[in-house]
A and B are shown apart, each in its own frame.
Chain A
Amino acid sequence: MGAAELDRAGGPSQGDEPAAKVEDFAALVRAHAGALRRTCQRLLQDATEADDAVQEAFLSAFAHLHTFRGQARPSTWLHRIAVNACLMRLRRRIALAPAIESDDCDAALGSLLPRYLADGHRADPRPAWTASVDELCERRELCGRVRRLVQSLPEPHRTVLVLRDLEELSTEETATLLGVRVNAVKTRLHRARQALRTMLERELAKEDLG
Chain B
Amino acid sequence: MDPTTTTFLCLLALMPVLYMYTVGVVATRFPALRNKRICLLIAHPDDEAMFFAPTMLALTRPETGNHVKILCLSTGKTDCFHWRRTHVNIH
Q: Do A and B bind each other?
A: no
B residues adjacent to A (C-beta < 8 A): none
A residues adjacent to B (C-beta < 8 A): none
